[in-house]
Amino acid sequence: MKIIIINGPNLNLLGKREPEIYGSKTFEDYFRELQLQFKNVELSYFQSNIEGEIIDKLHEVGFNYDGIILNAAAYTHTSVGIGDAIKGIETPVVEVHISNIHAREEYRQHSYISPNASGVLFGFGLKGYDLAIKSFL
């Protein structure tokens, strides 16, 4: 099984940025833990702060992977383009957010990703990625 995790803007700062919301672990460290935990899954990881690069990656993997875990971060609430890209591919997408987006600012409570996702996980911290992987197994 091939699954890719795609993270959007500012998630490269995990472990440094607002640890009271996002925790103190870097995503790279956490990703290594996921690889050890899910040895029978071919996991890959991509992060970009650029909307078009995220869309390009969705197009690239959206027809030959078994699952995509997408944390589009702030683009969740602004990117019709990423929502359309998900609609245009075959691979199922699980939307993940580290924080509870419904307990935050009002603008964060709308997602252009959710209508085209096969599932949505938010508010479980990094554990949401584990749960998303398990949803594909």
Q: List Cα–Cα distances, 109 to 44, 50, 73, 102, in angstroms.
A: 28, 22, 12, 5
Residues recognised as catalytic: 22, 97
How far apart CA 47 and CA 30 sit, in angstroms, is 14
In sequence order, the β-bridge partners of residue 124 are none
3-state secondary structure of 113: coil
